[in-house]
Amino acid sequence: MTEIPTLPVDVKAVLTATSPTVARDDHSEGMSYLESLPRRMVTLYLPLSIIVIVLLFPFYWMALTAIKPDDQLLDLNTFNPFWTWNPTFKHIYKLLFESYYPLWLWNTMYVAICSTILSILASVLAAYAIVRLRYRGAQWVGGLIFLSYLVPPSILFIPLATVVYQYGLFDTPFALILTYPTILIPFSTWLLMGYFKTIPFELEECALIDGASRWQILTKIVLPLAIPGLISAFIFCFTLCWNEFIYALTFLTSVQNKTVPVAIVNEFVDGDVYRWGSLMAGALVGSLPLVILYAFFVEHYVSAMTGAVKE
Q: What residues are paired with 270 via a beta bridge?
A: 273
The answer on 162 and 78 residing in a single domain is: no
- Whether residue 128 lies inside any domain: the answer is yes
Q: Round the average pLDDT of the chain to a whole number and report it.
A: 81
Task: Write out pLDDT tens, residues 82-134.
Answer: 888 888 888 888 888 888 999 999 999 999 999 999 999 999 998 998 888 87
Rounded Cα–Cα distance for residues 238 and 297 (Å): 13
Which pLDDT does position 300 carry in this prediction? Answer: 64
Task: Write out pLDDT tens, residues 72-86.
Answer: 887 777 888 888 888
By percentage, how much of the chain surpasses pLDDT 90? 20
For the ranges 156-160, 228-232, 296-300, the lowest mean pLDDT is seen at 296-300
The answer on 159 and 55 residing in a single domain is: no
Q: Which domain holds residue 49?
A: 42-93
**pLDDT of 16 strictly over 50:** no
Task: Write out pLDDT tens, residues 182-197.
Answer: 889 988 998 898 888 8
Task: Write out pLDDT tens, residues 141-170.
Answer: 877 887 877 888 778 888 888 889 898 889
Among 149, 177, 175, 151, smallest CA distance to 162 is for 175
Confidence band for 204, pLDDT divided at 50, 70 and 90: confident
- Whether residue 178 lies inside any domain: the answer is yes
Of the residues 52, 71, 93, which one is the last residue of a structural domain? Answer: 93
Confidence band for 35, pLDDT divided at 50, 70 and 90: low
**pLDDT of 304 strictly over 70:** no
**pLDDT of 231 strictly over 80:** yes
Of the residues 23, 58, 93, which one is the last residue of a structural domain? Answer: 93
Task: Write out pLDDT tens, residues 207-229.
Answer: 888 888 888 888 888 888 888 88
- Whether residue 22 lies inside any domain: the answer is no
The answer on 127 and 183 residing in a single domain is: yes
The answer on 129 and 60 residing in a single domain is: no
The answer on 250 and 116 residing in a single domain is: yes
**pLDDT of 179 strictly over 70:** yes
Which pLDDT does position 133 carry in this prediction? Answer: 80
**pLDDT of 12 strictly over 90:** no
| Domain count of the fold of the chain | 2
Which pLDDT does position 238 carry in this prediction? Answer: 93
- Whether residue 14 lies inside any domain: the answer is no
Question: Phi and psi (nearest 5°) for 273?
Answer: -105, 120
Terminal alpha carbon distance of the chain: 55
Rounded Cα–Cα distance for residues 272 and 46 (Å): 41
For residue 133, the tally of other CB atoms under 10 A from its CB is: 9
The answer on 114 and 74 residing in a single domain is: no
The answer on 147 and 57 residing in a single domain is: no
The answer on 65 and 191 residing in a single domain is: no
Burial class of residue 221 (count of CB atoms within 10 Å of its CB; 0-12, 13-18, 19+): middle
Q: What is the mean pLDDT of residues 3-12?
A: 48
DSSP summary character for residue 150: T
The answer on 218 and 126 residing in a single domain is: yes
Rounded Cα–Cα distance for residues 284 and 56 (Å): 12
- The counts of H helices and E strands in the chain are 18, 2
Rounded Cα–Cα distance for residues 27 and 66 (Å): 51
Q: Are 266 and 236 in contact (CB under 8 A)?
A: no
Which pLDDT does position 71 carry in this prediction? Answer: 82
Q: What is the dihedral of CA 139, 126, 196, 130, to 10 degrees?
A: -30
Query: pTM for the whole thing?
Result: 0.78
- DSSP reduced 3-state for 270: strand
- Whether residue 13 lies inside any domain: the answer is no
CATH number for the domain that contains residue 238: 1.10.3720.10
DSSP summary character for residue 169: -
Of the residues 93, 114, 131, which one is the last residue of a structural domain? Answer: 93
- Whether residue 109 lies inside any domain: the answer is yes
- Whether residue 48 lies inside any domain: the answer is yes
Q: How far is CA 79 from the centre of its chain?
A: 37
Rounded Cα–Cα distance for residues 205 and 195 (Å): 18
Among 101, 73, 75, smallest CA distance to 284 is for 101
The answer on 101 and 89 residing in a single domain is: no
**pLDDT of 203 strictly over 80:** yes
The answer on 214 and 199 residing in a single domain is: yes
Rounded Cα–Cα distance for residues 202 and 196 (Å): 13
Indicate if the alpha-carbon torsion angle 63, 67, 72, 73 is positive or negative.
positive
- Whether residue 35 lies inside any domain: the answer is no
The answer on 154 and 254 residing in a single domain is: yes
Among 258, 247, 234, 290, smallest CA distance to 118 is for 234
